[in-house]
Structure 1
Amino acid sequence: MDGDLGLRRGSQPQLAPTPTRNSSLPFRRGGFASLCEALDYAALGDTGFNFFEARGRLLHSLPYRALRTQAQAFARRLIGAGIARGERLLIIADTWPGFCVAFFGAQYAGVLPVPVSVPVGLGAKASYIEHLRRQIAAAGAVGVVAPDELAAYAVTAALGTTARLAGSMSTFEALPAPEVELRPLSATEQCYVQFSSGSTRAPMGIDIRQDRLMANIDGSIARQELNEDDSGVSWLPLYHDMGLIGFILAPMCAQRSVDLLAPHDFARRPTQWLSLISRRRATITYSPSFGYDLVARRAATQMPADLDLSCLKLAGIGADLIQAPVLQRFAGTFAAAGFDARAFLPSYGMAELCVGLSFGRRFGGFRIDRLGKRDFVVCGHPMAGHHVEIRDESGAAVPDRQVGRLFVRGPSVMPGYVGEPEATARVLKDGWLDTGDLGFWSDGEIVVTGRAKDLIIVNGRNIWPQDIEWAIEALPRLRQGDACAFSVEFGAGEEVVVLVQSYVGDAEELEALTGSIRQTVKETAGVDCRIELISRKFGLPLTSSGKLSRTHAKAKFIAGDYTVRVAAE
């Protein structure tokens, strides 16, 4: 059948990956009015997406020309099924070709795609289905597309909702594809709905518009100085803005090839990320701090053979507060494999801005600025056309090197949250977006210091929770992501609470660990604290992008969910 998707896992024989360069198509650094216009152009070349599994075997090759053909067939099926222009299609954003086909197919059909996360962890079926059902309701989705292994979840979640069509790709392949005229989303229209990661609140749907997305993509491509010799490798989830825009939408707008590894495969074999970069001679990758930290730690015992990272020219770092020690450890670990620390490119952004706002200089490395007793990684200059103000509590702009709250105005700022006028009004006023982040100016560059809601205030003194967490995680047998610090009201004041994911040990070991944590917090922040040791199996709550959610951890603590401590052996 023409346009037959054939995209279920393992359905294709081993293929050759798409090339880095196009043989004849002239390179364009963005400048398109819409995603469909960009894909129409990229489809004239040879580049595209390649999907790899945990051991580095190529599963699927999806050139842009094939993506366009299959997406347009998918679009006709949506139109033939009676899905109206402007209606919404939920897509479970696992790392598989079907996601790309459904996402771009929706674009050609004038339907708004809504990428959503995959389930995390074992035994999460019931909670994931409920989460999916809430997202269907929030988006008002009329359909749900899922990879084969999650199709039953999608069907169950859709029961009793607005979704009248749900299932795997085969469900949609079975729909007729009439020869109807396509109705692609244009420059003046919406593009898709992006759920925020929910680091300080429940996730909400962000209204991503075509013109604002393309402005962000053009700005980021320019700041990263993409060229016709660039190609990327990514393990980032496609339901998160950095994975979706950074390694699907923006590369397509620059006709670049990208090699994709699923997040769960990265978690199983982190060094495969670097092996792919080495083998495929990729020049660009990106990760939050924890990704660089995980692979550096794993390389201590599982260093890939013949690793050559000299090809890497842009190792982006963002999505969470950037940790200089992690970057230094990564650079030291892989220097012998040809990694040049100048490849690090710090950045700052958020989904409410589509993705990126500020970037360092390509192959310029990272710079540290010390404020008080803290070292911060500088996150670069804002993109062209975007204006940033750092304001104090009265709303006045603060001088250089004074911490305040970050506000942004510019062509990438969202118009609001879908169906949430009150939430929109809280963060948008006169075109300015209140990011909820704190930071300061350093010679015209942005330095982010943390989330305003996460700041701990004890006796009028500001304490950054990251300082406490990072100091604890440096203790023996603990690792990054094991600590969470916040404050709760206690009587007339605030009490600092520290949750620590702990190894299982005997009573004496756990008592010694508690003592070490207490002393570390005292030395780091000068405060006493309440310590709760929790099992790593129980875990600390994370956002969809893998960031620690202190707000959710605090809520769980107040609700009594952390009363069961680590059991002694």
Structure 2
Amino acid sequence: MAVIPTPTTNASLALKMQGFRTVTEALDYAAQGETGFNFYNLRGEAFASLPYARLRAEALDLAARLAGRFERGARLAIVAETSPDFIVAFFACQYAGMAPAPMPMPVNLGGKEGYLTQIRQMVLGARAAAAVGPKALSGFLEEAVSGLDDAAVMDFESLRALPVAAETPRPFGPDEICYIQYSSGSTSAPKGVIGAQASVTANLHGIAVHGLKLTAEDRAASWLPLYHDMGLIGFMLAPMFAQRSVDYIATSDFVRRPLLWLRLMSANRTTATYSPSFGYELAARRAARAEDGAIDLSALRIAGIGGDMVRPEALNLFTEAFAPAGFDPRAFLPSYGLAESTLAISFADLDAPVAVDYVDMRHYHRSGAAQPASALTSPEHRRGFVLCGRVLPGHAIEVRGEDGAPLPERRVGRIYIKGPSVTPGYFSDPQASNAMFDGDWLDTGDMGYFLDGQIVITGRAKDLIIINGRNIWPQDIEWAVEKVDGVRQGGVAAFSVDDGEGERIVVVAERRGMAPEALAELRREIARVVQSAVGAPAQVVLAKPHSMVMTSSGKLSRAKVKAKYLEGAFDEAPAEMAPPRALAEARV
């Protein structure tokens, strides 16, 4: 029997985006309408539909069963597959007063052992009463939590088979927790960001009302993983908060068929979507495979960008590819946020062109100031930074210098934020929580500067390379090396290593399949490009195809690549010739 997706609009339920003190209050209201979540397979066919009314009914039923097995306040670590099962379990936890801790699907995290280690660390960190996932992953979960007597392993079916509790469970209140969010890029014991009901609903209100300015006619589409904050908050909780329908495809299906994302939006007249820069780039590089008339993006008014550094080149590629299919580049919406602010802290203006500030990086390296590039600035020293908008109402951003004092415009410093969306801290880690705050201000660990009242992100403070007193951004090296013929797009990691005599730069570049005699020339060319881009020498490591390490959100993990390098795990022996394949295809 064919699945009928939920409608874009509700027949009589009025749009409401404020006044909800908890996630369950928002779902209680959304369940009075007809909208909800829809799930599509690799062929673009809807295989499941979950109206908010049925989501609420199933979540309440499961909550009563969870209450019969686990204590109120327990944490459940749940594998966040893109499915009705995960979403029902997440909301069941809300109604049962239990904190869900979404965990990643098994993707390219350095192989099976890397995945099992990450799952075990998350279960330990959350002190979870159970690790829950689809039946197909039960073996993985059993192995991951082996020896942890306090953590049961259950699949979604076994949860639904639990007996109902004698007493009706009590949902989370406005002053309680909502979830625990773990960073996908953690390399040691991961820190669990506490999402409180108050901070989550404050951010959902800011996103829906001020950032996206959602209307009763909006419909969303997403391929983002639900274990990542952009997928979980931005495209599960926020649409529900505003009673909007969402059409999902699995992250792995998007990577295999990027144009499926665009075809789905075309068919359903999607108005809002989001992606890191590489998602737009990957879709653009597949544009030639689209049949004439198959893509129509004329309804898309929000094409948000987040989750990594916004790359103007990727946005330009997407615009060139799909402007003939009705895409308006004014739909691009740069934004800035982090899990510690729930999700978003700033948005650019809707319906405005993307603003790019071109900076003379030589001057920046000398002075720490983002001086505009001039006609005399050479291309290799000219760098474009995208303006990521103004802070949400009720929140604040400061850019501070090394002395802790706020900096004027165009001076690069450390970014601090405060406001109702900010997390109260990390779960069961008071030391890390205290270190994160300076009074009411949260240290984001990001670097950037202000321009015309908008925040511009330049990178992570911890990734900064300091050579002979000069500050060098790894992105400057990575983006320059990516342009070298023979290097995979997005497959470069630059970092520094202290060899006892000072820091030196290491560049690990994933090469394409090529003959052995070409490798030496490629290494020399990369070294030349690095010297030209940042004025410093570098050790160049050529990694075999598909040997880089990704986070569960699909980004290259610079920290994990560095760890792999320090372990001596990169084998530079020539590999068999292999057909070129864009790195983004291997990200999941």
TM-score, reference length from structure 2: 0.91
Q: Please show how residues 495-534 of structure 1 align to structure 2 within 5 Å.
A: 495-534=504-543
Contact 2:107/2:552, CA 8 A, preserved across alignment: no
Shift of residue 492, structure 1, vs aligned partner? 2.9
Contact 1:206-1:414 within 8 A present in 2 as well = yes
**Residue 567 (structure 1) aligned with residue 563 (structure 2):** no
Contact 1:360–1:379 (8 Å) recurs in 2: yes
CA deviations 1:472-511 (Å, max 9, x no partner) are 1122343322111111123433211110111121122212
Look up the match of 1:7: none
- The corresponding residue for 1:140 is 127
Q: 1:369 deviation in Å?
A: 1.2
The corresponding residue for 1:9 is: none
**Does 1:550 pair with 2:558?**
yes
Letter of the 1:556 counterpart: K
- Distance in 1, matches of 2:187 and 2:162, equals 41
2:487 counterpart SS class: coil
Aligned to 1:91: 78
Residues 199 and 549 of structure 1 are in contact (CA less than 8 Å); yes or no, is this contact kept in structure 2?
Answer: no
**Among residues 455, 463, 479, which one is paired with 1:454 in the alignment?**
463
Paired with 1:92 and 1:303, the residues of 2 have a C-alpha distance of: 36
Deviation at 1:303, TM superposition (A): 5.5
What does the per-residue CA deviation read over 1:326-373, in whole Å, with 9 as the maximum and x for residues that have no partner? 111111111111100000000000001101010011222310112323
Distance 1:568 1:251 in 2: 47
Match of 1:107 among 69, 94, 98: 94
For residues 331 and 396 of structure 1, the distance between their equivalents in structure 2, rounded to whole angstroms, comes to 40
Picking from 244, 247, 252, the partner of 2:240 is 252
- 3-state secondary structure, aligned to 1:38: helix
Structure 1: which amino acid aligns with 2:557? S
Q: Deviations over 1:149-201 (max 9, x none)?
A: 21222233344325454222111121112463231101111111010233676
Q: Please tell me whether the aligned partners of residues 387 and 408 of structure 1 are also in contact (alpha carbons under 8 angstroms).
A: yes
Q: 1:399–1:122: structure 2 CA closer, same or farther, 3 Å change rule?
A: closer
CA RMSD of aligned residues (A): 1.7
Are 1:280 and 2:289 matched, yes or no? no
The aligned residue for residue 380 of structure 1 is 389
Structure 2 distance, partners of 1:304, 1:563, is: 44
User: Per-residue displacement from partner, 1:242-272 (whole Å, max 9, x unpaired)?
Assistant: 0000011010010000001111111111110
Partner residue in 1 for 2:405: 396
Partner of 1:268: 256
Shift of residue 431, structure 1, vs aligned partner: 1.6
Superposition map of 1:146-545 within 5 A = 146-178=133-165, 180-198=167-185, 202-223=189-210, 224-302=212-290, 305-372=293-360, 373-539=382-548, 541-545=549-553
Contact 2:488 2:512 in 1 (8 A): no
Q: Which amino acid aligns with 2:90?
A: F
Shift of 1:568: 6.6
518-527 vs 305-314, which deviates more? Answer: 518-527
Distance 1:340 1:408 in 2: 32
CA contact (8 A) 1:199 1:548 kept: no
Distance 1:54 1:30, change over 3 A: farther
| Pair 1:47-2:56 in alignment | no
Are 2:447 and 2:458, in contact at CA under 8 Å, matched by a contact in 1? yes
1:39 & 1:126 partners in 2: Cα distance? Answer: 38
Q: d(CA) in 2 for partners of 1:174 and 1:490?
A: 57
Q: Which residue identity is paired with 1:184? A: P
Letter in 1 for 2:105: V
CA distance in 1, matches of 2:255, 2:51: 27
How many Å apart are 1:458 and its aligned residue? 1.7
Are 2:121 and 2:189, in contact at CA under 8 Å, matched by a contact in 1? no
Cα contact 2:121–2:190 (8 A) shared by 1 = no
Q: Which residue identity does 2:107 align to in structure 1?
A: V
CA contact (8 A) 1:142 1:162 kept: no
Letter in 1 for 2:106: P
Contact 2:488–2:510 (8 Å) recurs in 1: no
For 2:489, what is the secondary structure of its paired residue?
coil
Q: Distance in 1 between matches of 2:190 and 2:297?
A: 37
Q: Is the 8 A contact 1:407 1:432 kept in 2?
A: yes
Rounded to whole Å, the distance in 1 between the matches of 2:109 and 2:527 is: 33
The answer as to whether partners of 1:40 and 1:68 remain within 8 angstroms in 2 is yes
Structure 1 residue 526 displacement after superposition: 1.7
Which range is displaced more, 516-525 or 114-123?
Answer: 114-123
Distance in 1 between the 2:346 and 2:188 partners?
24
Amino acid at match of 1:316: G
Report the CA distance between 1:302 and its aligned residue.
4.5
Q: Do 1:106 and 1:113's aligned partners in 2 also have CA atoms closer than 8 Å?
A: yes
Alpha carbons of 1:495 and 1:513: their partners in 2 closer, same or farther (altered >3 Å)? same
CA distance in structure 1 between the aligned counterparts of 2:395 and 2:128, rounded to whole angstroms: 32
Write the distance in 2 (CA, Å) between the matches of 1:124 and 1:527. Answer: 34
Following superposition, the deviation at residue 31 of structure 1 comes to: 2.9
* Structure 2 CA distance for partners of 1:303 and 1:438, relative to 1, 3 Å: farther
C-alpha displacement of 1:124: 3.4
Q: Distance in 2 between matches of 1:123 and 1:357?
A: 32
| Structure 2 counterpart of 1:397, one-letter code | P
CA 1:553–1:177 in 2, change beyond 3 Å: closer, same or farther? same
Tell me by how many angstroms 1:74 deviates.
0.4
Look up the match of 2:372.
Answer: none
Question: How far apart, CA to CA, are the structure 2 residues paired with 1:94 and 1:304?
Answer: 33
Q: Report percent identity of matched pairs.
A: 47
For 1:172 and 1:534, how far apart are their aligned partners in 2? Answer: 44
Task: Name the SS of the counterpart of 2:286 in structure 1.
Answer: helix
> What is the number of equivalent residue pairs in this alignment?
555
Query: Secondary structure of the equivalent of 1:108?
Result: helix
Change (3 A) 1:303 1:325: farther
C-alpha contact (below 8 Å) 2:448/2:458 kept by paired residues: yes
CA distance in 1, matches of 2:244, 2:161: 32
Residues 29, 227 of structure 1: 8 Å contact kept: no
Cα distance 1:133–1:201, how it changes in 2: closer, same or farther (>3 A)? closer
Question: For structure 2, which runs of at least 5 residues remain unmatched after alignment?
Answer: 361-381, 578-588
Secondary structure, counterpart of 1:515 in structure 2: helix
TM-score w.r.t. length of structure 1: 0.94
Contact kept, 8 Å, 1:27 with 1:254, in 2: the verdict is: yes
SS at match of 2:507: strand
Amino acid at match of 2:412: V
